[in-house]
Structure 1
Amino acid sequence: MSHGTGGAGEDLDWLAAPLNEAGFLVASVDHHGNSYNDEYLVEGFTLVSERPTDVSYLLDHVQDQYDVDERRIGSAGFSLGGYTVAALLGAQIDTRIMSALFAGHVPAPHVPEFPGLMEALRAKYSTEQLELLAQSAARPVRDPRVRAGALFAPGIAEVLTPASLRMIAAPVLVRWGDVDDITPPAENARLYADLMPRAEAASIGATAGHYVFLGDREDPSHVREAAASDAVDFFTHHL
Structure 2
Amino acid sequence: MNYFHFNIGSIKDKNKSFNAMNLWWDENIKREVITAGFTSAYGGKAAEVLSMPKEGDWVLAYAKKGKDFEGGYIGAGIIKGENTYKFHQDHHWSLSNHQHERAVDWLYFVSDVHNAVRRDEANYKGRRPTCQKITNIELAERIIDMLKARSGQIPSSQNSSSTAKEKLPLFLNFTQAPIRREQASFREAVYLTCNGQCVISGCDIPVAVEAAHIKCLAES
TM-score band, normalised by the shorter chain?
under 0.3
Q: Which has the larger radius of gyration?
A: 2
The structure that is strand-richer by fraction is: 2
Taking structure 1 as the reference length, the TM-score comes to 0.25
Taking structure 2 as the reference length, the TM-score comes to 0.27
